[in-house]
Amino acid sequence: MQTSISRLKNAKRIVIKVGTSTLTYSTGRIHLRRIELLARTLSDLCHEGREIVLVTSGAVGVGMSKIGLSEKPKTTREKQATSAIGQSELMSIYGKLFSEYGCDVAQILLTKDVIENEQRKQNAITTFNTLLEWGIVPIVNENDAISSEEIEFGDNDTLSAMVATLINADLLIILSDIDGLYSADPHKSEDARLIDEIDEVTDELFKIAGSAGTNRGTGGMHTKLIAAKKATEAGINMVITNGQKPSVIYDILEGKQTGTLFKGQIKTTN
Ligand code: GLU
């Protein structure tokens, strides 16, 4: 029986999710330095022989910054149009930075019906597998430009867990603006302490997690716990950690205590 830490060290297929608040400054503009470090770290892991999938938010945020909006668009049509502007900008930044480190990327935009329709689901799995076999980093986002309530994931925490499950990943890492899951709201309670490991995502955890996200992102700890539940039930280990320094991903893979580890429920067989 492998320990959770050695399972992380050996993780080959890894999904990394990064949120808007990690990708942008509080000014709303893109955090180039951080994205650059993220691209370097992920390219390096790819060179090491790991299979990397990046689930990225930021389409709406980057689109807002591009056309000079200081507040999130309120109507669906404006949100969709803004995401279409930001998504291409985001991909061009990723494409440029990853290629500087010798790594190619591909874009996959998903809606929830892809998971629900068997044929589309199989197509998506085949595309992911082919790209990974070719050593390319698939960069995934929700297809915000066309998604409406019936076919939307709504948040990229859930999307990242779906993707990890779909491709039978060994590990899901959620890079957030918080260090992990705390025993109470760290903004309100001085006694709040970071929880190192979670064996099971219980209703009790949802109660302590609260729901608020930041201005720029859509998720909060609530959506991360939903993701943790989905991922761990599918046997996938998941870590929530602070994405301020993307090199934290190395720490996780070296088995250092970082953020909160949610242990996969059953042994993954790849
Ligand atoms: N898909 C949205 C975007 O790219 C983000 C959703 C989320 O942050 O959870 O802007």
- Residue 109 belongs to a domain: yes
Domain count across the chain: 1
Under the banding of pLDDT at 50, 70 and 90, the label for residue 214 is very low
| Contact (CB, 8 A) for 154 and 60 | no
The confidence score (pLDDT) of residue 3 equals 60
Least confident of 29-38, 185-194, 251-260: 185-194
Mean pLDDT of 10-38: 95
Structural domain boundaries enclosing 135: 2-262
- Residue 268 belongs to a domain: no
Q: How far is the CA of 6 from the centre of ligand 1 (A)?
A: 32
- Residue 15 belongs to a domain: yes
How many Cα atoms sit within 13 Å of 38 on the Cβ side? 30
| Contact (CB, 8 A) for 60 and 77 | no
- Residue 32 belongs to a domain: yes
Q: Does residue 58's CB lie within 6 angstroms of at least one atom of ligand 1?
A: yes
* Average pLDDT of every residue of the chain: 91
Ligand 1, closest atom to CA 157? 9
- Residue 270 belongs to a domain: no
- Residue 269 belongs to a domain: no
The confidence score (pLDDT) of residue 215 equals 40
Q: How far is the CA of 141 from the centre of ligand 1 (A)?
A: 7
Residue 229 belongs to domain with CATH number: 3.40.1160.10
Task: Summarize pLDDT for 46-96 with one digit per residue, the tens.
Answer: 999 999 999 999 999 999 999 999 999 999 999 999 999 999 999 999 999
- Residue 92 belongs to a domain: yes
Q: Does residue 65's CB lie within 6 angstroms of at least one atom of ligand 1?
A: no
The residue with tokens 């909060």 is 220
